[in-house]
Amino acid sequence: MSDKTRPNPLQYLAYCYGKVLPPSMQDWVRNDLAGKGARRRTLIRVTLPGLLLVSPLWLIPTSTGMHLAMSALLFLPFLYFAHALDKVWRTHRLRQHNLDPELVDELARQRDAHIHEAYRKRHGRAEDTDS
C-alpha cells in the first residue's frame, strides 16, 4: 500500500478512537474493520484504554492478590462488553466511513458459503416452499 492509502501514526491513533479517515484510505479501513484479524484488532484497541483505567489501582499499597482482584472487577466486564459489542462497533465504524455495514460478516459468509450452498441443493430455497 502506498502512503496515501495508509494512515500515518497520528491518523491511526485518532482513527482507533473514533476519527474518520479520508476517502482515499477506504480500502485500508475496509480491511481493518472487516478483514482477517478485525476482531482481534478491535479488542486490542479497547483493551489498552481499559488497562490505563485500571492501572492507578496498582498504586494503592496492598497485596498483589488484592491488586489482581480489584483490577479483575473492572477489567473483565470491560473485556466482556468489548467482545459482545465488537460487531456493533465495527458496523458503526463502517457506516462512519460510508462503507457497507454488511462487510462485517463478509469473511463468515465466504467461510460458510459451501454450507449454505449444500443446504440449498438439498432442500431448495426458503422462498420456493409453500409455507
Q: Does the pLDDT at position 130 exceed 60?
A: no
Q: In angstroms, rounded to a whole number, what is the distance separating the alpha carbons of residues 112 and 96?
A: 27
Please write down the HEC assignment for all residues of 20-66. Answer: CCCHHHHHHHHHHHHCCCHHHHHHHHHHHHHHHHHHHHHHCCCCHHH
Indicate the domain borders of the chain: 3-128
Do the beta carbons of residue 41 and residue 28 sit within 8 Å?
no
Question: Residue 14: what are its φ and ψ, rounded to 5°?
Answer: -65, -40
Do the beta carbons of residue 115 and residue 68 sit within 8 Å?
no
Instruction: Indicate the average pLDDT of the chain.
Output: 87
Q: Does the pLDDT at position 96 exceed 90?
A: yes
Q: Does the pLDDT at position 22 exceed 50?
A: yes
Q: pLDDT band at residue 2, thresholds of 50, 70 and 90?
A: low
Cell numbers placing 113: 458459503
Which carries the bigger pLDDT value, residue 128 or residue 18?
18
Residue from 78, 56, 76, 77 nearest 67 by CA: 56
pLDDT digits (tens, 9 = 90+) for 42-94: 999 989 999 999 999 999 999 999 999 999 999 999 999 999 999 999 999 99
